[in-house]
Amino acid sequence: MLKAQYRLTKTKDIERVLKRGRGTGSAKISVKLAKNKLKHSRFAFVVGIKVAKSAVKRNRIRRQMREAVRLHLDDIKQGYDVMVMARPKAVELDYQELEKEILRIFKKLKLL
């Protein structure tokens, strides 16, 4: 579980990332980010109902994405609000593939 300081929870912050953030993605994961004025980065994880109808599957994907980011917090650049969104093909991935996909996208965005 990510510590509270690393979580992006307020609606206005999430909307700011969606409107003003830059991002990229793949067929499985999409990432948007925007600068913040803090000394640490904050993260939000979104898995919509179109990804998986079952709440159990959606929550599993969300937990796996959260853990992949938590393990690499020291490597991630500070001062960003990051939104990680799963796409329908993310259901097919196991944890290692999901972690590799997230890290690949973070490198592409120069977050690592």
Distance CA 84, CA 41 (A): 13
Give the pLDDT confidence of 7-41 residue by residue, as tens digits. Answer: 999 999 999 999 999 999 999 999 999 999 999 99
- The domain that holds 24 is classified in CATH as 3.30.230.10
Give the pLDDT confidence of 41-88 residue by residue, as tens digits. Answer: 999 999 999 999 999 999 999 999 999 999 999 999 999 999 999 999
pLDDT of residue 60: 97
Domain that holds residue 98: 4-108
Report the number of distinct structural domains present in the chain.
Answer: 1
CA proximity to 87, closest of 36, 32, 10, 33: 32
Q: How confident is the model at residue 5 (pLDDT cuts 50, 70, 90)?
A: very high
Q: Report which secondary-structure segment, H or E, holds 29.
A: strand 29-35
pLDDT of residue 84: 97
Q: Report which secondary-structure segment, H or E, holds 44.
A: strand 42-46
CA distances, 20 to each of 13, 30, 63, 71, 82 (Å): 10, 15, 26, 27, 12
The pTM of the full predicted model, rounded to 2 decimals, is 0.93
pLDDT of residue 1: 85
pLDDT of residue 107: 96
Instruction: List all residues 6 or more positions away from 39 whose beta carbon is below 8 Å from its beta carbon.
Output: 78, 79
